[in-house]
Amino acid sequence: MLQDIEPYLACPHCARPLTLDGRTLRCPGGHSHDLAKQGYVSLLAGDAHTGTGDTADMVAARGDFLAAGHYRPIADALAAAAVAAEDSGGGDGDGPGGLVADLGAGTGHYLAHVLDALPGRPGAALDISKYALRRAARAHPRIGAVVCDAWRPLPLLDASAGLVLNVFAPRNGPEIRRVLRPGGTLLLVSPTSRHLRELVDTLGLLSVDEEKQRRIDEKLGPYLTPAGRREVEFTMRLSAEDVRTVVGMGPSAWHTDPDRLAEQLAALPDPVEVTASVTVAAYRR
């Protein structure tokens, strides 16, 4: 709930701490932000907008696909990496501890899985899609859901998070470093070039090039230190409807013609075996 993450929130206008007053967050500078009836709060700056966020249809597709358990090995690997990061004692004093912040949290599925593995830790689901955050606000009792823009200053206080998650989402290196505590960890999940390879050519989906991980390391290099990685690869047996859902929940949804997709799906075996392949990488402040 929002109360769990209140001590870590910062005003998007002046970066001062926010205090929850009933259903409103207020800062000493006089700025206020009302909690939506669906349980999330918008901490977007005044000139920002949510037009680039996932649509209601994309969020519904993601919710269905994840609930079916197709990506469960990814969630399990992320939770295991989170526990390992805690056990490594990355900080001193009271660190790393603190908030678990999921940047680009979507429905909160992965954050909820990590919070189950880290009892007592509060979690902030950060996303620009209000449709996603309506679900994230209900995904776990210790999640607070916040609308924000990953490419702008995050509405979190300096050194407030012991752990930042980033799963198939935008990465803002300077801001991730700012909000991480000393010794804190970023856990980043990104697709490899083999991810959904059976569907990429057949359905004309967006592909992942083999240099993606190198480019990620280069962009994060000035701010964080690599601290290990592992590849998670497995085979899924997907029905035609599952395939439609996995297409509809990702970036390819913006570029796919529904009628053409229906024709292509009809030509696929049912079920079809599809590769899921990701890298789970850790970076330490």
Dump the DSSP string for 84-97.
Answer: HHHHTT-SSTT-S-
Which of residues 233 and 255 earns the better pLDDT score?
233
Flag whether pLDDT at 172 surpasses 80.
yes
Buried b (16+ CB within 10 A) or exposed e, 49-66: ebeebbeeebbbbbbbbb
Which of residues 155 and 91 earns the better pLDDT score?
155
pLDDT of residue 249: 84
Task: Quote the tokens at residue 242.
Answer: 């599952």
pLDDT band at 156 (very low <50, low <70, confident <90, very high): very high
Domain that holds residue 250: 2-284
pLDDT of residue 235: 97
The enclosing domain of 206 has a CATH number of 3.40.50.150
Looking at the structure of the chain, the number of domains it has is: 1
72 sits in which H/E element = helix 72-87
CA geometry: angle 252, 100, 225, nearest 5 deg: 80
pLDDT of residue 256: 65
State the pairing for strand pair 272-284/180-191: antiparallel
> Mean pLDDT, the chain, as a whole number?
89
Flag whether pLDDT at 93 surpasses 60.
no
pTM: 0.91
Flag whether pLDDT at 121 surpasses 80.
yes
Question: From edge to edge, which strands make up the β-sheet containing 19-21?
Answer: 19-21, 24-26, 32-34
Q: How crowded is the C-beta side of 125, counted as CA atoms within 13 Å?
A: 33
pLDDT of residue 220: 92
pLDDT of residue 51: 58
pLDDT of residue 52: 62
Identify the burial level of 132 via C-beta atoms within 10 angstroms of its C-beta, where 0-12 means exposed, 13-18 middle and 19 or more buried. Answer: buried
Residues 125, 146 contacting (CB under 8 angstroms): yes
pLDDT tens by residue, 46-75: 666 655 678 898 899 899 999 999 999 999
pLDDT of residue 208: 83
- Lowest-confidence region among 17-26, 48-57, 124-133: 48-57
Task: Quote the tokens at residue 230.
Answer: 């592992």
